């Protein structure tokens, strides 16, 4: 088997000699599409995304700035590719080593997923936060593996991939897997089962018979056409496509109503308890208070109450600067407490999330980066500045969903502190209540 099978990469990205790799094809870094020069890796054709640069090939060379973080694609670049061969090592039985049980709604969704994969179809799994959507894809993956199909589970967020990796490893203990994301120390190797960020899909071409995209509404996938291009490029033309989301956008919801998109809708959490409904608390000009180092008001009162009750919690804020200022104030107020701040570019992000999971922190201050893809055992959730545009309807629903996820701790308090109520706040609360009501009507929860 060749490590180039189903790949489309630069020479420096190949960690083996080219000799003996099989029937390799070479293609140019740019190609013409509808009369426009287009980057072959990310699909962008915008002139503003091309940067002129001196090159050994001549003075007229340029490179794509849109996917520069994946390595420089120049006009003269050569990409190496080989058709996907689906040449896998024989799998040991049992393929699926997960011994858990599915709830009634999970079983129904699992059967629908298996049927979709067998028919090379397309489906959305609309599962409320904490519904257990990871477990319900296991049977479909097993069926695909047994059918000699190649599978990729992709997500826009690194945190989601890091959370999924050990669960997939545990569920398919005898199946070789690879985890791909920016900054990983693991070298690429050819495997039948792949877990990757959606950015990594740019390095694949017609590779996957089954592509499962988790958290499709997460930033930046839902607004980045190049990532959507990469997903279509990575999937085989006749492959199946599975979307997973707790908060699909309005376009997808319309397609469901119109019958153009098959969907499995799961309104209840796997443990049978309703979603925590956020409490909305007016908090005045909270940004001014932080800048003036004032530690009075409803927010600080609630912090004090949570600490008195020995509760662990997450505090979400809309930007890093205010988060760091608030952290300084909390350190002065509670010098004996253990906590940290975390954000997207934080070099210790993984370690801090792990420390919170191991209960080494009393609380964690975070930007919206932890709105999804992370599970902590028994926590409450606070949003300071819920009116900020950063906190969209989908983001607020996901944030609220961090509470009450564990079977042994199925409840939790969610507090949205705001200066002015927004449509996003109101719609998020409405969506949570609607899901609880639907779950109650289906007999999946005892109360809503």
DSSP string, 165-179: HHHHHHHTTTS-EEE
Position 21 scores a pLDDT of 67
* Contacts (Cβ under 8 Å, ≥6 apart) of 162: 181, 350, 353, 373
> Is 262 within 8 Å of 121 (Cβ atoms)?
yes
Map tokens 């877990």 to a residue.
195
For the chain, which residues score pLDDT lower than 70? 1, 20-21, 448
Share of the chain above pLDDT 90, in %: 82
Share of the chain above pLDDT 70, in %: 99
pTM of the complete model: 0.88
Residue 343 structure tokens: 């954000």
Cis before 175 (ω within 30): no
Is-same-fold flag (104-266; 279-441)? yes
> Domain locations in the chain?
8-81, 104-266, 279-441
DSSP string, 353-394: HHHHHTT--SEEEE-GGGSSS---SSEEEEEETTTSTTS-HH
Model confidence pLDDT, tens digit, residues 420-441 = 999 999 999 999 999 999 999 9
How far from 413 is each of 132, 294, 379, 403, 410, CA to CA, in Å? 20, 25, 8, 7, 11
Enter the DSSP assignment of 187: P
Residue 165 structure tokens: 């990796």
How far from 315 is each of 27, 175, 229, 298, 352, CA to CA, in Å? 48, 38, 35, 14, 14
Position 14 scores a pLDDT of 87
Model confidence pLDDT, tens digit, residues 72-113 = 999 999 999 999 999 998 999 999 999 999 999 999 999 999
How far from 232 is each of 194, 198, 226, 242, 255, CA to CA, in Å? 16, 11, 10, 12, 19
Q: What is the CA radius of gyration of the chain?
A: 23
Position 299 scores a pLDDT of 97
Q: Checking phi first, is residue 71 left (phi over 0); if not, alpha (psi -120 to 50) or beta?
A: left
> Is 204 within 8 Å of 7 (Cβ atoms)?
yes
3-state class of 337 per DSSP?
Answer: coil
3-state class of 82 per DSSP?
Answer: strand
Position 298 scores a pLDDT of 96
Position 20 scores a pLDDT of 65
Q: What is the CATH number of domain 279-441?
A: 3.40.50.300
CB-CB neighbours of 19 under 10 Å: 6
Position 1 scores a pLDDT of 66
Burial class (CB in 10 A: 0-12, 13-18, 19+), 307: middle
Position 414 scores a pLDDT of 98
Enter the DSSP assignment of 92: P
3-state class of 416 per DSSP?
Answer: strand
Enter the DSSP assignment of 178: E
The pLDDT mean for the chain works out to: 93
CATH fold, domain 104-266, is Rossmann fold (3.40.50)
Position 446 scores a pLDDT of 79
The terminus-to-terminus CA distance of the chain in angstroms comes to 53
> Is 77 within 8 Å of 29 (Cβ atoms)?
yes
> Is 132 within 8 Å of 106 (Cβ atoms)?
yes
Residue 125 structure tokens: 């799994």
């Amino acid at each position: 088997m060749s490590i180039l099978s189903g790949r489309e990469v630069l020479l420096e990205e190949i960690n083996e000699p080219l000799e003996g790799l099989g029937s390799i094809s070479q293609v140019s870094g740019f190609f013409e599409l509808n009369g426009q020069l287009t980057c072959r890796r990310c699909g962008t054709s915008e002139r503003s995304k091309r940067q002129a640069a001196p090159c050994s090939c001549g003075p007229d060379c340029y490179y794509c700035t849109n996917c520069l973080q994946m390595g420089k694609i120049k006009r003269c670049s050569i990409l190496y590719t080989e058709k996907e061969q689906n040449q896998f090592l024989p799998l040991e039985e049992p393929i699926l080593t997960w011994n858990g049980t599915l709830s009634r709604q999970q079983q129904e969704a699992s059967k629908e997923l298996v049927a979709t994969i067998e028919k090379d179809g397309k489906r959305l799994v609309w599962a409320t936060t904490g519904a257990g959507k990871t477990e319900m894809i296991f049977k479909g993956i097993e069926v695909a593996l047994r059918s000699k199909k190649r599978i990729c589970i992709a997500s826009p967020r690194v945190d989601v991939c890091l959370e999924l990796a050990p669960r997939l490893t545990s569920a398919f203990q005898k199946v070789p897997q690879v985890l791909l994301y920016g900054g990983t120390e693991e070298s690429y190797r050819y495997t039948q089962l792949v877990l990757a960020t959606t950015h990594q899909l740019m390095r694949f071409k017609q590779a996957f018979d089954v592509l499962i995209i988790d958290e499709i509404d997460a930033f930046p996938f839902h607004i980045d056409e190049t990532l959507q291009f990469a997903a279509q490029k990575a999937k085989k033309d006749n492959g199946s496509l599975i979307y997973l989301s707790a908060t699909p956008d309005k376009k997808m919801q319309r397609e469901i109503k119109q019958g153009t998109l098959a969907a499995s809708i799961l309104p209840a959490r796997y443990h049978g308890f309703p979603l925590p409904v956020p409490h909305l608390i007016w908090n005045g000009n909270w940004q001014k208070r932080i800048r003036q180092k004032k530690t009075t008001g409803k927010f600080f009162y609630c912090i004090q109450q949570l600490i008195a009750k020995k509760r662990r919690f997450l505090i979400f804020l809309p930007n890093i600067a205010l988060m760091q200022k608030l952290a300084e104030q909390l350190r002065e107020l509670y010098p004996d407490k253990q906590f940290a701040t975390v954000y997207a570019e934080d070099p210790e992000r993984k370690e801090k999330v792990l420390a919170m999971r191991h209960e080494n922190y009393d609380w964690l201050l975070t930007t919206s980066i932890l709105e999804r893809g992370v599970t902590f055992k028994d926590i409450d959730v606070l949003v300071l500045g819920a009116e900020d545009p950063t906190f969209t309807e989908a983001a607020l629903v996901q944030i609220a969903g961090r509470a009450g996820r564990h079977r042994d701790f199925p409840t939790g308090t969610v507090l949205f502190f705001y200066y002015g109520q927004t449509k996003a706040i109101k719609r998020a609360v409405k969506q949570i209540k609607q899901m609880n009501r639907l779950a109650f009507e289906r007999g999946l929860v005892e109360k809503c």
